[in-house]
Homo-oligomer: A and B are copies of this chain.
Amino acid sequence: MTTPARTRLEPHDRRAQIIEAVRPLYLQHPYDAVSTAELAAAAGVTRGLINHYFGSKRELFVEVMRSTIRMPEDELPDLSALPLEDRACRTMDWILRAAETYGQAWVSVSGAANLHGNSDLQEVVDEADDHAARLTLDALCLPDDPHRRVRVRTLAPLVKAVCREWLERGTLTRDEALDLLTETVLLFATKETP
């Protein structure tokens, strides 16, 4: 193991290293169950440095989330040769596979649970959902005009809820989940836009 002789890193590298070192902690424990002391220890630095680079513990958390809940774009198959119904089914299958194989974090993080509308996390989750909507439209080979994007974007929380019923509660089979999502995405993505 590397002797923790304190080394000096480029700011950019240090930021990245801290984020990576801290990620597993936030994968297992909720935000306020982990202290800055533990975060710093995991990163092999001092508490002060965390505040120096991220301002506050909260901002570090948000930064970790931002890079964790982004739906990965690779392995997205080329479906351009298939009819629309099949493209929809295969696209949803792609999402479900990501959820079950990698336990993709995107499906496990819904919006922030605060009453007052504006949460720092909300905007991060929103961005991730919007990103997922772009990927979906791309896989469906449908043009991505603003109206369509909005509709598909609203499906993100539905996808997460369905995955939760399927994976965590076992109240839906994979086929049922796939079927529901396929029909819904078809409905939402093909409405004519005014």
Contacts and interface: CB of A to CB of B under 8 A. Distances in A.
Interface stretch (A5-13, A24-32, A36-44): A24-32
A109 interface: yes
A108 B117 contact: yes
Contact of A26 (B31, B108, B115): B115
Interface in A62-115: 65, 68-69, 105, 108-115
Nearest to A29: B116
Contact of A112 (B113, B115, B161, B183): B113
A35 to B, nearest CB: 14
A178 interface: no
Interface in A101-151: 105, 108-117, 119, 121-122, 125, 146, 150-151
Contact of A180 (B69, B116, B188): B188
Contact of A154 (B69, B113, B162, B183): B162
B165 A154 contact: yes
B171 A150 contact: yes
A115 B124 CA distance: 13
* Interface size band for A: 35 or more
Contacts of A112: 30, 110, 112-113
29 contacts: A27-B115, A28-B116, A30-B116, A31-B114, A32-B32, A68-B115, A69-B115, A105-B115, A108-B117, A109-B113, A110-B110, A110-B157, A111-B113, A111-B160, A113-B113, A113-B119, A113-B121, A117-B168, A146-B171, A150-B171, A150-B172, A151-B172, A153-B161, A153-B165, A154-B180, A157-B157, A158-B158, A183-B187, A184-B184
* Leading 7 A-B pairs by shortest Cβ distance: A157-B157, A110-B111, A154-B161, A158-B158, A30-B114, A112-B113, A110-B110
